[in-house]
Amino acid sequence: MEKLAIKLTDYILSKDAISEESYDIYVYGFTCFLELSISFISTFIIGICLGMFFECILFSCIFMPLRSLAGGLHLNKFFHCYLLSCFMLTATLLLVKFISFPDYISLIGCILFPIILFIIGPINHPNRPVTEEENSIFKRKTNIILVFCILLSIILYLTKSSRYLFLEFITFADLIISSLIPKLFPQVHKH
C-alpha cells in the first residue's frame, strides 16, 4: 500500500499541488485511505458473497470502532492484518449462517462480554502505541459504544432477531479474543 501511496504523492508533488514539507503527511494519508478502502470493499464483497450483507454491516458497525478504540492485537504488516480480518469476518458470518444459539445465551453473552471488555480496558500494543491521554479518550468512547451495544442486544432479544443477536454475541467474542491475545501471548506481537 505504501508504494502506491508514494507514487500518488510523487504525482501530486510533481504537479506542484503540495509542498515538500507535506510529503510525509500525504503518504500517510494515502496509505490510510487505500488500506481502509480495500478493507471496506472486501468486507462488503464477503457479505454479498455469503448472502449476508446486513449481517456484515452490523458486524462492521460493532467490530470496527470497538477494535480500533479498545486496542488489542495489531499485526505489523497491513497484509497480515487484512487477511486476519477477512478470515475473522468470514468465520463469524459462517457461524451465524449455520449455527444458532438460544436467544437467552446470546443475550447473556452480549451483556457479559462488553463488561469484560470494559474491565480489560483499552489495550496498548507495541505496533500501535498511544499516550495516556489518548487511552483515556479511547476508554470513554469505548464505554459509550459498549452501552449502546448492550441496549441494541436487548432490543434484538425483545424483537426476537435471533440471527443478529447471535452475530453480536460472536462479534464480542472476536473482540475479546483479539484483546486478550497480546496479554496472554506477548511473544505474538514482538517485532
52 pLDDT exceeds 90? yes
Average pLDDT over residues 103-129: 84
**Rounded Cα–Cα distance for residues 141 and 163 (Å):** 27
Average pLDDT over residues 15-23: 91
**Rounded Cα–Cα distance for residues 50 and 159 (Å):** 24
42 pLDDT exceeds 90? yes
Least-confidence region, from 111-115, 140-144, 186-190: 186-190
43 pLDDT exceeds 50? yes
Task: For residue range 20-33, list pLDDT tens digits in order.
Answer: 999 999 999 999 99
| Residue 63 pLDDT class (50, 70, 90 cuts) | very high
- Contact status, residue 43 vs residue 61, Cβ threshold 8 Å: no
**C-alpha Rg value of the chain to the nearest Å:** 19
pTM (2 d.p.): 0.85
Task: For residue range 162-176, list pLDDT tens digits in order.
Answer: 999 999 999 999 999
> What pLDDT is stored for residue 123 in this prediction?
66
